[in-house]
Amino acid sequence: MADKNSFLLRIITPDRLFYENQVEMVEFNTTEGEIGVLPGHVPMTVIVKPGILDITESEGDKTAALHAGFAEILPDRVTILAEIIEWPEEIDVERAQAARERAEERLRSKTAETDMARAETALQRAVARIQVLR
Amino acid sequence: MASMRDIKHRKSSIQGTQQITKAMKLVSTVKLQRARANAERSKEYFTCMYETVNSILERVGHVEHRYLASGNSQKKAVIVITGNRGLAGGYNSNVEKLVTRHPEWKKDDVVVYALGTKGRETFLRHGYEVKECNSDIVESPVYRDAMHIAEELLKAFANGEIGEIHLAYTAFKNTVSHVPTLLKLLPVEVSPESGKKESGPSAIMNFEPEDVEALDMIIPKYVTSLIYGALMEAVASENGARMQAMDNATSNAEEMISDLTLKYNRARQGSITQELTEIIAGAEAIG
């Protein structure tokens, strides 16, 4: 198991163990930009931003929409504590499209009481969902 | 001695009650199993969350941060998680007592966020300041509910309306043991003995973004996850407590029924004997 080309990736949500396997690489979006993690990474804790999670396994690739949480990266292990994460098959395209339009509308017609940060996060989430499906 | 009819009447009424308690026990057994499975599945997330936050705080040391210092306000917010229904033994009142009998808290300093109508009623009756919360969520809590509560509390904390946030709930140890627990959410306190075990990786952990900024983002998640975890455990405890209470009630009813059956039979035998004696006495008088 402990070979040099892979590390243990665990993705935990409040409701379940979302994913657990030996992987070669994982890529996702953080507050500091997109990062790709290979085995032997420097220990680091990062905050997740809505985006696509790409998992490279020896047999193939997997993608998911990762929306919120944070990740603890260690040389031989990566733990992602995800508040919201979905496999592509769990995403409702029409709902995501609708959410995207709603968020864009809200950002365009910004009034004093519009919560900009919230609308932006909603937009990012919707975009991530739609991208994962492509 | 009570008449046969009285005894019979009482017995059948107890039998009716027993049927209800038996049914309630079965229902809460099923609910308990589901709630316990949920609580166990979510446990991993909180253990991880707790360890990560502890290791971060340990590394950061005594940094000035708004979530680590007590606010100026004297007010303490207490989230009290109780059930919406009674008939669960001491489940509701044990949690309430944590707050009402707390040695240091004065009634005026406490703001209660009551989740569960039973708790809300009690605190209103005692004259506490009670903030409205959606009590329906204790039936089947989802993570989003915990997020809303955490958001509201953190906003109040940031505005200086409250100085501390506590959480009162019933921890679920196993099916028969549920412990009322009071937990301090904010300001975050690092327990000195935790984190010692993993001195290796945490010693060289890097943060992106920087420590203080990371804390800003992680601590709300930490608070949310604690609330969610408490909700899950409380639901399991409530059903466990109700199951126990109903089990006791059923066996008490059983005891009363067997006692009444004995009394009934004795009364029946007594009345037959009496009738016989009367008949014999009458026959002898004629003959």
Q: What is the mean pLDDT of residues A124-133?
A: 80
Q: Among B48, B205, B228, whose Cβ lies nearest the Cβ of A81?
A: B48
Q: Which of A34, A17, A18, A36 is nearest to A26 (CA)?
A: A36
Collect all residues of chain A within an 8 Å Cβ-Cβ radius of residue B217: 31, 47, 70
Q: Which of B62, B67, B44 is nearest to B214 (CA)?
A: B67
What pTM did the predictor assign? 0.81
| Domain at A92-133, CATH homologous superfamily | ATP synthase delta/epsilon subunit, C-terminal domain (1.20.5.440)
Q: Among B48, B52, B209, whose Cβ lies nearest the Cβ of A31?
A: B209
Pair A54, A63: CB distance under 8 Å: yes
**Is residue A47 within 8 angstroms of chain B, CB to CB?**
yes
pLDDT value of residue A85: 86
pLDDT value of residue B63: 63
Peptide bond into B209 cis (omega under 30): yes
CA B68 to chain A, closest CA, distance in angstroms equals 19
Q: For chain A, give every domain's residue range.
A: 7-88, 92-133
Output the CA angle B77-B82-B86, nearest 5 degrees. 150
Measured torsion, CA atoms of residues B38, B43, B49, B53, in degrees rounded to the nearest 10: 130
Q: How many CB atoms lie within 10 A of CB B156?
A: 19
Contacts of residue A77, defined as CB under 8 A and 6 or more positions apart, other chains included, come to A7, A8, A9, A10
- The pair phi, psi for residue A46, each rounded to 5°, is -130, 155
Pair A85, A67: CB distance under 8 Å: yes
pLDDT value of residue B144: 83
B82 pLDDT exceeds 60?
A: yes
Chain B residues 136-165 with CB within 8 Å of chain A: 143, 147
pLDDT value of residue B61: 62
CA A32 to chain B, closest CA, distance in angstroms equals 7
CA B54 to chain A, closest CA, distance in angstroms equals 13
Q: Helical H runs in B61-142?
A: 91-100, 117-126
Residue indicated by tokens 């690739």: A61
Long-range contact pairs involving B202-207 (C-beta distance under 8 Å, separation at least 24): B202/B55, B202/B58, B202/B59, B203/B59, B204/A43, B205/A43, B205/A44, B205/A45, B205/B55, B205/B56, B205/B59, B206/A42, B206/A43, B206/A44, B206/A45, B207/A44, B207/A45, B207/A46, B207/B56
- State the complex-level ipTM: 0.73
CA B83 to chain A, closest CA, distance in angstroms equals 21
Output the CA angle B12-B15-B16, nearest 5 degrees. 90
pLDDT digits (tens, 9 = 90+) for A49-83: 888 888 988 888 888 888 888 888 888 888 888 88
What architecture is the A7-88 domain classified under in CATH? Sandwich (2.60)
Q: Among A30, A42, A79, whose Cβ lies nearest the Cβ of B48?
A: A79
Lowest mean pLDDT among A32-46, B25-39, B189-203: B189-203
Collect all residues of chain B within an 8 Å Cβ-Cβ radius of residue A47: 208-209, 214, 217-218
pLDDT digits (tens, 9 = 90+) for B115-147: 888 888 888 888 888 887 777 777 778 888 888
Average pLDDT over chain B, rounded to whole?
A: 84
**Is residue B26 within 8 angstroms of chain A, CB to CB?**
no
Domain architecture of chain B: domains with CATH = 35-244 (3.40.1380.10)
**Is residue A130 within 8 angstroms of chain B, CB to CB?**
no
pLDDT value of residue B195: 44
Contacts of residue B228, defined as CB under 8 A and 6 or more positions apart, other chains included, come to A14, B42, B46, B141, B143, B145, B146
